[in-house]
Structures are given as C-alpha cells and as structure tokens.
Amino acid sequence: PAGALERPRPSGEGVTINAVYDPTANYTANWTRAQALKIQSNASNTTPRIPEEFPIMTDEVWVWDTWPLSDLDMNPVSYGGWNVIFSLVAPRDIFFGDRHWQARIGYFYSDDAQNWTYGGLVFPEGSSFGSREWAGSTVVNDDGTVDAFYTASGRDNPTEIDPTDALQRLAHTQGRIHADDEGVWFTGFEDHQIIAEAEGRLYQTLEQSQAVPDAIIYAFRDPFVFRDPTDHNVYILFEGNNPGNAGTHTCDRREIGRVPAGHVIPPRTNLYTGNIGLMRLTGYERDMNEWELLPPVLSAECTNQQTERPHLVVHDGDYYLWTISHQFTFAPGLSGPDGLYGFVGPGLRSNYRPLNESALVLGNPADAPLQNYSHFVMPNFLVESFIDTIPRAGGGDPVYGGTLAPTLQLEVEGTHTELTGVLPYGYIPALREAGESW
C-alpha cells in the first residue's frame, strides 16, 4: 500500500536516518523554525553585487521569472541548434512594480546561450486562462511537441486590471516548436485546460486564506513538470499554502523543531503556511491534462508563507528541492534574505533536510536586499535569476532590472553548497539537443 516505509528518527549521533515514502503517501517534510533560526549570511551564500549599469536583453519588455525549454527529465535542451528560454514579460514602458498584473509568457532564443533574441509572446492573444500568465515550465518531446504549464492568475475575461484579484489555478496547453537558420517560433497553444485548483483539503483555497481580515499573500502557482527518475511517473511541483482557514493552524513541535531554550512563538506565526505541493499525471502522457493532487512534499508552516517556484535537481540519486523566498514572508521572530533556499532528500517524498542547516543557498547582499530574485537551478548547478532592484550609490530612485542577472555556479556536496563562480549575464546553456538521443 502507499504509505510510510519508515518514520525518520534520530540515530545515536543525532543524525536523522533517511526515510523515503511513496510519492502518494501522507508524509510532508518540514522546514522548521529551528532550521530557519540558523540562517546566517556569509561569503559562500551571498550573491555578488551587480553594478548599476548592466546589459539588458531587450528594450521591448521587462523580463523576470525565467525557465529553459527542457525535456521531461529536467534537462535544458536546445532545438534546431537554438537554446530557448521562457520568461514572464510585460511592456517595458509600464512601471516595473506593475508588471505582475500584465504578465505574459514570452520566449528568447540564442546560439551561444547568452546573447538572446526576443521572439515575442508564446500563446495566441486571448487563448490563455486567467487575466495574466504567471510562472510555469515548458517541456519538449523529441518530435517537437511542446507542453506548456503556467499559472492562470486572476479571473477569466477581466474587464480591467485588478491587482487585488489573487485567484490562481494551474493550466496546460500543447503546441509545437519550429526552427530554421533564422530562429525559433511556435504554433498551436490554442486549446488550454485548467489542470488543478486548490480544493481546501490538501491546499488552501483563496477563500480560506481570506478568513482573517489582514491575510497575507496567497499562493497556488508555479507548476514545475518532471519525470521522477525512480518511479518514472510524471509529476508537477508547485507553490501552495496549507489547507484550512487562515488563523486555524497551530504551530506544533514538528514545525517548530528543536529551538534554543526561551524561543518564543510570536502572535500571528500560525498565519504563515507556505508549502511545496505535488500532483501526479493520471491521464495519458500525450495529453498531459489529467492530474491528481497529492499532499505537499514540504511544509514551511510557522516558518514562511511563500515557497515560490519550487523545482528539482536529481543528482546521484539525491533529490535537491529548490525554492525562492522573500525576507517579508518569513514568520514573526525569523528573518532571512530574499534568495534561493534548498533541501535535499533521498527520494521525491522523503525527510528533506535543509541545505547548509538553514536552507539558505544564495541570499541578496545586505546593501542590495532586492537585487536578484526568482533563481532557477539547473542539473549542472548553474543558477539563473533576474535583476530586480539595485539601489543607486548616490541615493534617489533605484535602478530597475527586468533582465537576467549573471548566472552563478554552485558547488554542491551532500547538504553543503558553495558559490564558486560568476558567469555571464543570462548564461543558460542547453545540456542536450532535443530529438537526439544521449
């Protein structure tokens, strides 16, 4: 039966024994307060400062959350010799902070994986669900069929731009990629399906999140599709919140962890219920439109409200689970920089342990706390992210980025990571060519 093989338990040395569960099992690992209390910034986890002057990829659009065209095995792939990436984009002539409410998915292609040509929007006008398209993932089959997953953010057919409309659903559509010597283009993506909605039992609904008057930011978004190399089933990781009305959650011992004596749990800590959700493909792989929600693989209840853009790298059988988070979404009594956080476990559903003891992998420098965001780690441990906001040395209005940041190289050894290199801006190389076998 689907169920726990073994509960994690401490061994004599205080080391937790590896525990792997069936992906459908009702076991969720925790990012505890005790772990988050260990967040400390140092040279090996602080993102280097980016100068006020930096190259921008295009004058046409702001660029933020970005992901490479991939195969289902999580490898960035090229097509027809072109590297291809997808980004959330919005017209560059609107205020940078307003971009979320007009977001669409655009794409770029490049022959050297660092000088990108903007190819335009991916989906035909009016075809997508929601009032804006938020982050997702895009996989190509060897025959050129492309499955695109995204967050349908906001209600359908809006009459005006409404930043207070926080509805989020997961959506899918299928198309085709084409390439010639001149570049890359897409066809299809006309039929879209909603493939998951929060139902209140495994994942908090928008309504439940608004059960308290001063509710904080809500999530049911950012689908990352992949095939689990262990059971070969197709899954999606996404960002959610724990089910139930805001205010009804309790901070229990598993969520608090072994905190130092005297650690107090401030009021409102229980309103912070971020999780990393999981769903499994139940229908045909050629359609990719029937899925079932499973319990979250990781919960940050009482630690952090947002575990955004979760994704995975499987390396030598170890599952590295990555997420991005903000300083302002940590629960009261905790603090950490905007940046990349990570966990490692022996299986897709397992007792994930935080990397570097606290989960902090790359945090923004203290003097530029909003410099980078939306980090995405690839199987070679290269990390791409976008430039958000850089303070100006002389004060005054900051510099808005809206373009890809220098790619960073991580070295990862067990539960330890280290920043070992700074590569060109927006360097996102494919690891293989789609359509060619390894």
Catalytic residue positions, numbered: 65, 308
| Coil, strand or helix at 107 | strand
SS (H, E, C) 35-56: HHCCCCCCHHHECCCCCCCCCC
Residue 373 sits in the site that holds ligand FRU (CB under 6 A): yes
- Least distance from C-beta 82 to ligand FRU, angstroms? 25
* Contact code string over 48-87 relative to ligand FRU, x by CB under 6 A: ----------------xx----------------------
- Least distance from C-beta 141 to ligand FRU, angstroms? 25
- CA of 397: how far to CAs of 212, 338, 365, 390, in Å? 35, 20, 19, 9
* C-beta of 103 vs 271, nearer to ligand FRU: 103
Of positions 19, 74, 77, 88, contacts ligand FRU by CB under 6 A: 88
Residues 260-279 that bind ligand FRU (CB under 6 A): none
d(CA 400, CA 215): 28
Residue 374 sits in the site that holds ligand FRU (CB under 6 A): yes
* Contact code string over 204-223 relative to ligand FRU, x by CB under 6 A: -----------------xx-
Of positions 27, 86, 108, 134, contacts ligand FRU by CB under 6 A: 134
* C-beta of 249 vs 326, nearer to ligand FRU: 326
* C-beta of 69 vs 184, nearer to ligand FRU: 69
How would you classify residue 345: left for phi > 0, otherwise alpha for psi between -120 and 50, otherwise beta?
beta
Query: Of 148, 101, 98, 146, which Cα lies nearest the Cα of 127?
Result: 148
Cα angle vertex 106, ends 139, 368, to 5°? Answer: 100
d(CA 330, CA 269): 9
* C-beta of 99 vs 249, nearer to ligand FRU: 99
Instruction: Enumerate the H helices of 223-306 as residue ranges.
Output: 253-256
* C-beta of 378 vs 434, nearer to ligand FRU: 378
* C-beta of 88 vs 196, nearer to ligand FRU: 88
> What is the CB neighbour count within 10 angstroms for residue 12?
5
Residue 325 sits in the site that holds ligand FRU (CB under 6 A): no
d(CA 34, CA 258): 6
- Least distance from C-beta 193 to ligand FRU, angstroms? 19
| Beta strand spans in 111-227 (E) | 117-121, 132-140, 145-153, 168-180, 183-196, 221-227
C-alpha radius of gyration, the chain, whole number = 21
* C-beta of 105 vs 146, nearer to ligand FRU: 105
Residue 410 sits in the site that holds ligand FRU (CB under 6 A): no
d(CA 252, CA 103): 38
d(CA 209, CA 9): 33
* C-beta of 4 vs 94, nearer to ligand FRU: 94
- What backbone phi and psi angles, to 5 degrees, belong to 36? -65, -25
What the block records as the tokens of 373 is: 């965001």
Residues 286-315 that bind ligand FRU (CB under 6 A): 308-309
Query: Of 225, 224, 242, which Cα lies nearest the Cα of 234?
Result: 225
Long-range pairs, 151-157, Cβ under 8 A, ≥24: 151/220, 151/221, 151/222, 151/223, 152/128, 152/192, 152/194, 153/100, 153/103, 153/221, 154/101, 154/130, 155/130, 155/131, 156/129, 156/130, 156/131, 157/131
Residue 151 sits in the site that holds ligand FRU (CB under 6 A): yes
d(CA 42, CA 258): 23
What the block records as the tokens of 253 is: 């011992």
- Least distance from C-beta 425 to ligand FRU, angstroms? 18
* C-beta of 218 vs 235, nearer to ligand FRU: 218
Which residue ranges make up the site for ligand FRU (CB under 6 A)?
64-65, 88, 100, 103, 134-135, 151, 221-222, 308-309, 373-374
